[in-house]
A = this chain, B = another copy of it.
Amino acid sequence: MRYLHNLAVSHIATGAALLGTGGGGDPAINLLIARKAIETYGPVKLIDVNELPLDAWVLPVGGVGAPTVGAEKLLSWTEIDESFAVSNAALPGGAYATMPIEIGGGNALLPFVLAMRHGLPVVDADTLGRAFPEMQMSSLALDKVPMRAFSLADEKGNTCLIKASNPSWMEALARPVIDAMGGAATACAYACTGEEVRTSALHGTVSLSERIGRALMDRDVNRGDPLAALIAETAAHVLLGAKVVELETKTDGGFVRGGVTLAGLGADNGRRVEVAFQNEYLLATEGTSLLATTPDLICILDRDTAMPISTENLRYGARVTLIAIACHPKWRSAAGIRATGPRYFGFGFDYVPVEKLIGSTL
């Protein structure tokens, strides 16, 4: 157990933006909200997975919907409080702790805000280890933990408690509600016991995002080379140094979909790489060759600062570095690849781990 203050939360925000692989919402806004909450309620208690009683309820929280909408339709206390109230009432005895549904992007910070408002600790774990665009893409769903106490709330006071017969039905029912709520909402969801967190959540990911953030932001740690510090922390593979030469983005059905074309710079001059996204960067290809694919993490970084750039912050002409990081082993299982691999998203490639793709042409 330890307490997190302002600086730690800033590091988590940056690390989470990287693990968001372009999605999960811009952490900048939620960081402001988390700082305001720390100012009001004091520091946040972060507990280890092993500190959780086996029968205690953990109620994860996150924002859902299109990040482009979330960046303009700002998070409100109302939606956090109402979503918590509805889901918490559905848990016998109530929630003992909260945690991020996904560590990627602004969603990493929502549990801190909820924790401070409602006096709960945050568990150092999440259920994705990154960000993913659809709700059934969770390590809990992969292990068939039932989707309990799933609620959505918006800033207008509307709430919706959904029980679905399976995770794909949850996605099918919740997505149009999110759309009707204005394209973005807060979800308390995937309530699970301490025991289920131990067996099925991804452990230590809050601390991981803090270490990544520190590597990128703290000169004492990165000694002026944030990319090298990031590689040391995550074993990231650098795929390309480039600039953005084409960008196509469409917000519909609650998602930001599109693609970006990168033209190589310097040593990579003459190379041309396409990166496709649905909220998150999902697939990087060069001609007919696969460079990296979901569920491995594909990130686009600012070429100078190595700071991650989200899909909604991509701009024509930006100088960037394209990297990829091996995903959590859970996503590399047959079921994990079926749920989150390239074929699930409609791409005509089989999953190949990024470290096997380096230097190969398919």
Contacts and interface: CB of A to CB of B under 8 A. Distances in A.
A307 to B, nearest CB: 37
A158 B173 contact: yes
- Give the interface size class of chain A: 20 to 34
A173 B165 contact: no
Contact of A176 (B159, B162, B179): B179
Interface string A162-182: 111100010011011101110
Count this chain's copies in the assembly: 2
A228 interface: no
B169 A156 contact: yes
Given A173-B180, A177-B176, A179-B176, A162 B164 contact: no
| Highest count of chain B CB atoms <10 Å: which of A163, A169, A172 | A163
| Highest count of chain B CB atoms <10 Å: which of A156, A179, A180 | A180
A69 interface: no
A156 to B, nearest CB: 5
A90 to B, nearest CB: 9
Contact of A173 (B163, B172, B177): B177
A359 interface: no
A337 interface: no
A156 B160 contact: no
A85 to B, nearest CB: 10
Given A176-B177, A177-B173, A156 B161 contact: no
A92 interface: no
27 contacts: A86-B161, A86-B163, A156-B165, A156-B169, A157-B163, A157-B165, A158-B162, A158-B163, A158-B164, A158-B173, A159-B162, A159-B163, A160-B160, A160-B161, A160-B162, A160-B173, A161-B162, A172-B180, A173-B177, A173-B180, A173-B181, A175-B180, A176-B176, A176-B177, A176-B179, A176-B180, A177-B177
Nearest 10 A/B pairs, CB to CB:
A176-B176, A157-B165, A161-B161, A159-B163, A156-B165, A160-B162, A172-B180, A173-B180, A158-B164, A158-B169
